[in-house]
Amino acid sequence: MADIQTIYQETIKFAAEKHGAQKVKGSKIPYVVHLSNVAMEIFMAARKTHGFDLGYALQLALLHDTIEDTQTTRQEIEMVFGKDIAEGVWALTGDPKLLKEYRLSDSLAKIRKCPREAGAVKLADRITNLQAPPKSWSKSHIKDYLYDAQQILKVLHGANEYLEKRLQQKIDEYSKYSG
């Protein structure tokens, strides 16, 4: 197994190429900043969690939006990174064949069948996304987003204690935008 630094570099290069010119929604920030923020949460979680599979979690963190937001296929991820990583990324992907309102619960059910670190990546993703909402968002949109975050926390209970605590704090802070 390659060292963590090599895994990180090779995976972030792949992801950065795939996301190309894509920006973080509502900003001019390159998408790879979102990916590195999720990876940063994972590094912190690894320090706080016994028996944490950092290599697996990091690859999922960096690849988690490739199938959902780029032309990358599950088969391609499997060829480059192997079956376990492809399955994890697939679990973290909202299935476009489903109606939007069913995608999150379907994804969370798939995540629960993967190693616990896949759940940690989902928690980390939502932690980094719970920042002040864009001015264009309505109160009901903000409420839906908050509700989704609460669902993630509930369904993934036990995935990673440290990140669950962080997500709970972020939810509490974010609640002020929905009131």
- Which residues contribute to the site for Ni ion (CB under 5 A)? 65, 125
Residues 70, 21: contact at Cβ < 8 Å?
A: no
Nearer to Ni ion, 10 or 69 (CB): 69
State the minimum distance, in angstroms, from the CB of residue 51 to Ni ion: 25
Read off the DSSP letter of residue 30.
Answer: B
Nearer to Ni ion, 54 or 121 (CB): 121
Q: How far is the CB of 162 from Ni ion (least distance, A)?
A: 19
Q: How far is the CB of 35 from Ni ion (least distance, A)?
A: 7
Q: Kindly tell me which of 34 and 52 has the beta carbon lying closer to Ni ion.
A: 34
Catalytic residue status for 69: yes
Catalytic residue list contains 68: yes
Length of the chain: 179
Nearest alpha carbon to residue 55 among 106, 4, 110? 4
Which of the residues 53, 69, 106, 144 is marked catalytic?
Answer: 69
d(C-alpha 8, C-alpha 54), whole Å: 10
- Give me the least distance between CB of 139 and Ni ion, in Å please: 23
The DSSP symbol for 137 reads -
**Closest residue by Cα to residue 89 from 109, 103, 71, 73:** 73
Among 53, 68, 78, 95, the one annotated catalytic: 68
| Residue number with CB closer to Ni ion (41 or 87) | 41
- What's the CA gap between 14 and 59, in Å, rounded? 10
Question: What positions carry a catalytic annotation?
Answer: 68-69
